[in-house]
Each structure stands twice: as C-alpha cells, then as structure tokens.
C-alpha cells in the first residue's frame, strides 16, 4: 500500500504516456497447418498492448485484460505482466474490449479501449489485394494512443517521470514495428477510401433529394391544373 503522503494529488499537472494497441494477423498456410488447429480456422493472430517502439510500460500498467468473442474458450484473458498480449487462431473478425489497470500507487480507475480484429487486407486495388492474399502477408492493425493522468498522485508522478519516456513512433528510415512507411501508406489509403465512400453517399443522397423535389414540384403543378 502506498503511504498516505504519496496519495496526495499533484495539482495543475497532467501527464500523458503514449502506448500502442492492436493486432497482427497471418493467414495459415494450408500445407503447414499447426497441430490441433480447428479445420475452419484460417488465421493466426495476436492482439497486444505495448509501449511505442518497445518502450517499457509495465512500471505504470499493472495488468491488461482482453475480452474476446464469446465463442472462444475462456474469452476473458488477463495478462498480469508483459508482454500484454493474447495469441489465438480463428476465421472471423470481431471487436475486442481491452481494459487496462494501473499500479496501485496511481489511485486511477482502469481505462478501456476497443479494437476491431482485422484479418484481411481491404485497401488497395484488386490486383494488389489478391497478391497480398496469395503471399499470405501479415495484416497489421495498430492504433497509437495516449493515456492521460490528470493531477496524478505524488507516487504516480514519481513513477511516470523517473522511469521510461514519452516516446513517439520512430520515423527512422527502415524502422520496423507497428508504424512503418508501408503501414502509414495503408492507413492513408484506408482513409482516402473512406472519404470516397462518404462522397459517393453524399452524391447519391443529393441526387435522391433532387429527384424527390422534382416529383413534388410536378405533383404540385398537376394539382394546380385541376
């Protein structure tokens, strides 16, 4: 238990610590299936919570809980120490609830985030997508986020400022990991594709509205003639 003095809050101070959460999924090679793999499982995947570029986050995170789909045995998985990750196999995509507990000194309530498990590539032209599937390329789906500690306890303030650092994703040429030029390009493609879909919906809605206004005008004109 932290001492009473260390539970006092540091007024007017907010500390942010970056972290990464998400998943990597790899298609199973039919010719090299792992033993005991269910026949309908097509992918191996890992969902995780970690520090940026491998930075240690265990000094302020006590444990992480992953809520998988109810079809999995023991769908509530808890990691009491790093690596904070769960590996499984499956065939479907679903939302994973991630709950993060902090060390007792923090006096903080656990925080939750949500990750949609992604097994298939969706962004790109048909030829590129087909090639990615044929080559069984891993599908990365990670999110950069920051944990906010507003007016932390004195003990937590010491922990956050004396250990680790607020590292941002590395942009060094050739750097590997969750954030690479390739993954950034894929994310931009995904956003651009989403923008295009929104524009198409707007155009269709506008066309529908114009058609309805025209029909109403014609009906009104017909009534006036009578």
- Mean pLDDT, 10 residues at a time, the chain of 226 residues: 66 92 91 86 95 91 97 96 96 96 94 94 74 80 92 92 62 51 56 73 85 83 76
207 in the same domain as 133? no
110 in the same domain as 24? yes
Q: Is residue 118 part of a domain?
A: yes
Q: Checking phi first, is residue 50 left (phi over 0); if not, alpha (psi -120 to 50) or beta?
A: beta
130 in the same domain as 213? no
185 in the same domain as 156? no
DSSP 33: P
Q: Is residue 120 part of a domain?
A: yes
91 in the same domain as 194? no
State residue 4's pLDDT score.
45
117 in the same domain as 203? no
Find the Cα–Cα–Cα–Cα dihedral 128, 143, 193, 91, rounded to 10°: 60
Closest by CA to 34, choosing from 45, 23, 24, is 45
* Cα gap 40→90, rounded to integer Å: 8
Total number of domains in the chain: 2
CATH of the domain at 49: 2.60.40.1970
19 in the same domain as 48? yes
Q: Is residue 112 part of a domain?
A: yes
Cβ–Cβ contacts within 10 Å for residue 90, how many? 20
112 in the same domain as 187? no
Q: Is residue 173 part of a domain?
A: no
Closest by CA to 21, choosing from 59, 66, 77, is 66
186 in the same domain as 156? no
Strand partners, 21: 49, 143
Q: Is residue 6 part of a domain?
A: no
Q: How far is CA 182 from the centre of its chain?
A: 17
| 83 preceded by a cis bond (ω within 30 of 0) | yes
- What residue numbers bound the domain in which 58 lies? 14-163
Q: Is residue 85 part of a domain?
A: yes
* Secondary structure class of 22 (helix, strand, coil): strand
Closest by CA to 22, choosing from 92, 127, 98, 126, is 98
Cβ–Cβ contacts within 10 Å for residue 8, how many? 14
Q: Is residue 64 part of a domain?
A: yes
216 in the same domain as 130? no
Cβ–Cβ contacts within 10 Å for residue 24, how many? 18
205 in the same domain as 119? no
Q: Is residue 89 part of a domain?
A: yes
CB-based contacts of 157, cutoff 8 Å, min separation 6? 10, 13, 15
**pTM of the entire structure?**
0.71
187 in the same domain as 158? no
Q: Checking phi first, is residue 216 left (phi over 0); if not, alpha (psi -120 to 50) or beta?
A: alpha
């Amino acid at each position: 238990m932290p001492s009473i003095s260390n539970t006092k809050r540091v007024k007017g101070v907010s500390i942010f610590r970056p972290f990464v959460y998400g998943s990597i999924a790899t298609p199973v090679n039919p010719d090299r299936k792992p033993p005991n793999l269910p026949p309908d499982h097509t992918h191996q995947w890992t969902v995780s919570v970690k520090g940026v570029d491998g930075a240690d986050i265990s000094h302020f995170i006590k444990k992480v809980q992953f809520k998988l789909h109810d079809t999995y045995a023991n769908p509530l998985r808890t990691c009491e120490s790093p690596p904070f990750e769960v590996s499984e196999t499956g065939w479907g995509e679903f939302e994973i609830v991630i709950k993060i507990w902090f060390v007792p000194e923090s006096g903080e309530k656990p925080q939750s985030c949500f990750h949609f498990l992604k097994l298939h590539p969706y962004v790109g032209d048909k030829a590129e997508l087909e090639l990615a599937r044929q080559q069984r390329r891993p599908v990365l789906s990670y999110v950069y986020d920051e944990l906010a500690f507003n007016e932390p306890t004195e003990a937590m303030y010491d922990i956050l400022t004396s250990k680790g650092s607020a590292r941002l994703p590395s942009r060094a040429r050739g750097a590997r990991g969750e954030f690479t030029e390739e993954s950034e390009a894929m994310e931009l493609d995904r956003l651009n594709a989403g923008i295009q879909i929104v524009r198409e919906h707007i155009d269709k809605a506008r066309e529908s509205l114009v058609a309805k206004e025209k029909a109403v005008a014609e009906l009104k004109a017909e009534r006036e003639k009578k």
